[in-house]
Structure 1
Amino acid sequence: MSLVLAGTVGCDQATKQLAISQLRDEPTRSFLGGLLRLTFAENPGAFLSLGGGLPHAVRFWLFIAAVGVLLLATLVYLVMSRRLEPLQSAALALIVGGGLSNWFDRLVNDGRVVDFMNLGIGSLRTGIFNVADVALMFGAGLLLLAGWRANNPEARQGGSGQG
């Protein structure tokens, strides 16, 4: 799982450095008929900039201190737990990797995270996000899948459910 975690952090930090060097102070770039847009943004908040308007000290304690403790606890659990299924381990590695990379951004970027990708059609668009956010969401999805599999014996055995 260390490869998943390190790969997540490495890919996210590399793409953020590209965004800083290629997109900062540049107009938005559109691809695939506008389906994908690359635009530089720095987010002081969480998902969809939630909490971005909070005072700096509150954002520090919430997004750096509390999130740092949560990430450390999750990493210790990932490393120490012998009961995790491989799917659960991969999911937690993606979540910790994405979280650590965004957390690192906050440490070195005055509490802000570099974002640069946006998906959508016309006015129906996502918020601006980064590779770490994709890893976090994919990891959360894998955790849901692992939970569903744990509660469905047929899914664990790979059976079709037909008798």
Structure 2
Amino acid sequence: MKFTKRLGLIVVVFALCVGIDQITKAIAKATLSMESVREYLGGSIRLLLTHNTGTFLGLGGTLPANVRYALMIIGLGAFLLALLVYTLLNKRADAITVISLTMIFSGGISNLLDRIVYGGYVVDFMNVSAGIVHTGVFNVADMVLMVGAIMLFMVGFKSKTQIAHG
């Protein structure tokens, strides 16, 4: 894929993902409370405002502040910068791969922006359950990141099966 097409695709996906995430977080902060929970569909969907100082499922949230800063702002920022450079310069990447990588980058950047703006925490506000299966509290950036990772896995799996059967 040509650089200009790749760059355009990155900009559009990034703007959509970060824009929707930041808008939903602003709405959550304006309309939800940390003291109450709103339930929908018989409690399957719960909206509750939380401040997550950790990463996925709160991991690392109890680390000392300086360690969290080093890992979750400097370390994550460096990883995301490397991912962006790789996505921009990878001439062999098809559109789905570029979209997948950009979704991972966008979810990470949007949560990183929260950490910088809010002094170390990410705004989370959704929780989903189905029977005995429950998610942690998450946000749109987390969903974007997970969908991007699943897409990237599927692209890699498809490529491997094509090579094996080709």
Give the TM-score taking structure 2 as reference length: 0.89
What is the distance in 2 between the residues matched to 1:42 and 1:80? 35
Which of 55, 62, 71 is the equivalent residue of 2:64? 55
Task: For 2:45, give the aligned amino acid.
Answer: L
- What's 2:38 paired with? 29
Structure 1, gaps ≥5 residues long: 158-163
- What's 1:125 paired with? 134
- What's 1:108 paired with? 117
- What's 1:79 paired with? 88
What is the distance in 1 between the residues matched to 2:165 and 2:109? 31
What is the distance in 2 between the residues matched to 1:156 and 1:29? 50
- Dislocated runs of 4+, deviation >6 Å: 154-157
What is the distance in 1 between the residues matched to 2:151 and 2:165? 14
- What's 2:74 paired with? 65
- What's 1:160 paired with? none
Alpha carbons 1:149, 1:155 under 8 Å: kept: no
**1:155 CA displacement:** 10
**1:120 CA displacement:** 0.1
Count of aligned pairs between the two proteins: 157
Say yes or no: does 1:138 pair with 2:142.
Answer: no
Alpha carbons 1:19, 1:40 under 8 Å: kept: yes
Alpha carbons 1:29, 1:38 under 8 Å: kept: yes
| Deviations, residues 122-156 of structure 1 (Å, cap 9, x unaligned) | 55311000000000100000010010111112899
Alpha carbons 1:44, 1:111 under 8 Å: kept: yes
- What's 2:19 paired with? 10
Task: For 1:100, give the aligned amino acid.
Answer: I
Alpha carbons 2:45, 2:126 under 8 Å: kept: yes
Alpha carbons 1:150, 1:156 under 8 Å: kept: no
What is the distance in 2 between the residues matched to 1:57 and 1:48? 20
Give the TM-score taking structure 1 as reference length: 0.91
Structure 2, gaps ≥5 residues long: 1-8
RMSD: 1.8
Q: Secondary structure in 2 aligned to 1:103?
A: helix
Alpha carbons 2:34, 2:50 under 8 Å: kept: no
